[in-house]
Structure 1
Amino acid sequence: MPAISKITVAKKNKGRFHIYVDRGQGDEYALTVSEDIFVKWSFSKGMELSEDDIVKIREEDVLDKAFQKTLNYLSYRMRSEKEVLQYMKDQEVGEEEARRLLDRLQDLNLLDDRAFAEAFVRTKKNTQKKGPLLIEQELYQKGISQKDIDHALKEYPEEEELENAIKTASKKQTSYKKEGNRQRKQKLLQFLMQRGFSNGIAKQAVDKCEAEIPEDFEWEGLVKQGEKAIKKFQKYEAWERDQRIKQYLYQRGFSGDSIEAWFSKMKEEGSLAEDE
């Protein structure tokens, strides 16, 4: 049976050891192992190793390498069980071996889907202001069970959801300052629901933001859109031009009263001349 004839420390990685055996023809390289495996097997010069032992140790070392890589993968942020399994699959770790590593990580409290879900909810609501419906969808995609999702979403009470929806809507509505009230509200509502806020919460947030909008907010947008419409349709005769401008402005969410008020002002200023 081969016996260990020499043990050396790897030059590029001090945490790994080269094992040599003597099969009757002097030192012959057999394998390289991590410090953990070295300690586990208590390698020493003169120790006998069967060929089956060598094969088994090599397999253990491959698995240990995968475990160390997975630990590094987990060091950047918390991961779900599904994410870790996919990572190990990408590292070409077999299904049975991956399960063994997964159990080991759970025993070390390094993998916990419920704790992951709770932390995920806190991060998404505090830093990205996402709504709970979108967060729930993202957790599901990460392989979290519905039971753990429901538990984690308790970290997101309704009053906080409304607060985040209002902040999100307030910030976003400036993007729609060229739109009429009706269209701006519709776009804001759609945007909030895409961000994962419920229909009821989204409506409350939009109403709250609308109440704080300056009185001249829509008028400024109407003036800008009106100027654009005049240039767009100036080639038409007065009656058709006016009808096209009104339709254009109405489609952008401006109210009929606001449009008529703007038209009267433009007529007075001579910006919309009548046909001779």
Structure 2
Amino acid sequence: MDGNICKITKIEIQKKNKDRVSIYINGQYGFGIHKEIFFKYDFEEGKILDKKFIEEIIKEEEQKRANSYALKLLSYRLRSEKEIKDKMNLKGYDAEVIDKTVKYLKEYNYINDFEFTNEFVREKLNKFGKKRIKLELINKGINEDIIDSVLNKEIDDDLEYEKALELAKKKLKVYGQDDKNGVYRKLGLYLQRKGYNYRIITKILKEIL
């Protein structure tokens, strides 16, 4: 793209991706764009392009790729806003592009931290206590007010105790003929790692040992 005149000398559909088009400027490869952008701006051979316009097109193409990458991530599972940002940052996208992608995802409700938290809590309540679930959600960038609201709605004290008791009974079978003091200690630590509070742990240990 050297020189003052930027003339489209060749347009070619890419062999490895039929949805992308290669644009040649002044006899040399200039840039590649998605067909959607190609048709949006009515590119054709012989057309003269302003260098600033080319820069804007390349930015638009990068933004489209970024949005597509984020949607691909979300096709596997729901993700928090922070998870999307972290993944995109690792992929090398700059902050401005990431912010625009997040804005786009929020606009179409592709990401919603409240919905993500609801789904996460329902998925984890059979495996972990409130403390562990809350810690994992904090690490995913979820606001603590959202976390507390969802946890209090989805897991009351009786349900948390019931789930902890189920886990404890299963784990107790693994310990077999271990001495009572050893089982008491190991089971207590196990439930602690699972994120259950002291009150629930002591109540369960008294009940099953």
Per the normalisation by structure 1, the TM-score is 0.68
Which structure has more relative contact order (CA 8 Å, sep 6+)? It is 2
| Aligned-residue offset at 1:45 | 4.2
Which residue pairs with 1:176 in the alignment? 175
- Structure 2 CA distance for aligned equivalents of residues 155 and 72 of structure 1: 29
Distance 1:206 1:29 in 2: 71
1:5 shift after superposition:
4.1
Encode CA deviations 1:71-110: one digit per residue, 9 max, x unaligned. 2122111111111111111111111221111111111211
Q: Distance in 2 between matches of 1:42 and 1:119?
A: 44
Query: Counterpart of 1:8 in structure 2: which amino acid?
Result: E
**Partner Cα separation in structure 2 for residue 101 and residue 36 of structure 1:** 18
1:208 aligns with 2:207: yes
Among residues 138, 149, 152, which one is paired with 1:151 in the alignment? 149
Q: Which is worse superposed, 83-92 or 150-159?
A: 150-159
Segments of structure 1 that go 5 or more residues without pairing to the other structure are 211-276
Alignment correspondent of 2:194 = 195
Q: For residues 164-222 of structure 1, what are the alpha-carbon distances to aligned partners after superposition, in whole Å with 9 as ceiling and x for unaligned? A: 11111101112333333344233322321221112222223233323xxxxxxxxxxxx
Q: Which residue of 2 aligns with 1:231?
A: none
Separation (CA, whole Å) in 2 of partners of 1:44 and 1:107: 33
**Is the deviation greater in 48-57 or in 179-188?**
179-188
Q: Which residue of 1 aligns with 2:24?
A: 20
User: Structure 1 residues 100, 170: closer, same or farther in 2, change over 3 A?
Assistant: same
Aligned-partner Cα distance in 2 for 1:203–1:64: 54
Equivalents in 1 of 2:204, 2:41: separation in Å? 64
Q: Is the 8 A contact 1:3 1:46 kept in 2?
A: yes
- 1:182 and 1:69, CA in 2 relative to 1: closer, same or farther beyond 3 A? same
Asked if 1 retains the 8 angstrom alpha-carbon contact of 2:33 and 2:61, the reply is: yes
The 1-side partners of 2:14 and 2:158 are apart by 59
Please tell me whether the aligned partners of residues 79 and 116 of structure 2 are also in contact (alpha carbons under 8 angstroms).
yes
Q: Is the 8 A contact 1:30 1:54 kept in 2?
A: no
SS of residue matched to 1:102: helix
Query: 2:92 is matched with which residue?
Result: 92
Structure 2 segments unaligned to the other structure (5+ residues)? none
Q: For 1:130-164, what per-residue CA distance to the aligned partner results, in whole angstroms no more than 9, with x for missing partners? A: 11110001101111110111122121222221111
Aligned residue number for residue 186 of structure 1: 185
2:66 and 2:97 in contact (8 A); partners too: no
The equivalent residue for 1:161 is 160
Report the counterpart of residue 60 of structure 1 in structure 2.
60
Q: Tell me which structure has the larger Cα radius of gyration.
A: 1
The change in CA–CA distance for 1:152 and 1:47 in structure 2 (over 3 A counts) is farther
Determine the C-alpha separation between the residues in 2 that align with 1:203 and 1:2: 76
* Structure 1 counterpart SS, 2:125: helix
Q: Distance in 2 between matches of 1:42 and 1:209?
A: 74
Give the structure 2 partner of residue 256 of structure 1: none
The alignment's C-alpha RMSD in Å is 2.0
Q: Which residue of 2 aligns with 1:8?
A: 12
1:109 and 2:113 correspond: no
